[in-house]
Amino acid sequence: MKFNDSDITGYLQPAGGENFFLLAGPCVIEGEAMALDIAEQMVRLTERLHIPYVFKGSYRKANRSRLDSFTGIGDEKALKILRKVRETFGIPVVTDIHETHEASMAAEYVDILQIPAFLCRQTELLVAAARTGRMVNIKKGQFLSGEAMGNAVEKVRATGNMQVAVTERGTTFGYTDLVVDMRSIPAMKKACGCPVIMDVTHSLQQPNQSSGVTGGVPEMAFTVANCAIAAGADGLFMETHRNPREAKSDGANMVALAGMESLLEDLCLLRKAVIAQKHATHRAECCQ
């Protein structure tokens, strides 16, 4: 489906469309060439598989473990790269914001404003993002239940902005690990009444390492993504890089760009099976 910036929700979930949508790209914008390269590869792949695609890239990383961790190449420079990706490939783009004054600035360049998990209860931030008129994707805090996200969604809708989505990204398990409770996906669907996304790669993080660099288990991406599709997720979020070992942020839990094709092909097959089963169940219920 061709992207129409006046109807981002319709692009992600078109009438009659039964595939999941995908938010994917690098953790942080490292430069123009890498962003365009990843976007080009992902656009080619998602068009072939009929997956509505949103390019993801943070223009700045505010939440870092160490003071000397990479945070970005400069706000305006990175935002302009996001705009160039949007204009070059005709696709929507998403980035995250951390403070209220960033909302209107970022909204000039992107289509979806993302609220980081640690900030999902910050009322002023949610309201500022919503008032831009852009779609707002709220990541579920690692400390919240799926049901509790209904309150965050209501803060957005109270402004009159109905374009909102929520994202599961794992729950804190001890000090240095995360687990994914797949019950959160149907729970958020019921409590929030909006698209539910599974953040596959961030849920694979192993935070708070003594080295000051977040670890991860990217080999589990296939498992988590499959479970999310089976549980009814509407969309997936994945960070990718041509060489995760060289990525300046979150490389330890990324899916390598070369591995995205086989992963997405398998997920599309699973999605078809899930939808077919859903239709079969509905027919059986109607015949009773």
Tell me the per-residue pLDDT of 235-258, one tens digit each, with 9 for 90 and over.
999 999 999 888 887 777 889 999
Position 66 scores a pLDDT of 66
How many CA atoms, within 13 angstroms, populate the side-chain half-sphere of residue 89?
Answer: 25
Nearest alpha-carbon partner for 152 in 134, 142, 139:
139
Position 11 scores a pLDDT of 94
Average pLDDT of every residue of the chain: 92
∠ CA(12), CA(18), CA(19), 5° rounding? 65
Position 282 scores a pLDDT of 65
Reported as a pLDDT band with limits 50, 70 and 90, residue 1 is: low
Question: In this structure, how many other beta carbons lie within 10 angstroms of the beta carbon of residue 62?
Answer: 15
**Number of domain units in the chain:** 1
3 belongs to a structural domain: no
Domain housing 144: 8-286
1 belongs to a structural domain: no
5-9, 41-45, 60-64, 231-235: which has the minimum mean pLDDT? Answer: 60-64
Tell me the per-residue pLDDT of 196-214, one tens digit each, with 9 for 90 and over.
999 999 999 887 775 666 7
Q: What is the CATH number of the domain that holds 225?
A: 3.20.20.70
CA atoms of 143 and 275, how far apart (whole Å): 31
Residue with the bigger pLDDT between 279 and 116: it is 116
Cβ(29)–Cβ(58) below 8 Å = yes
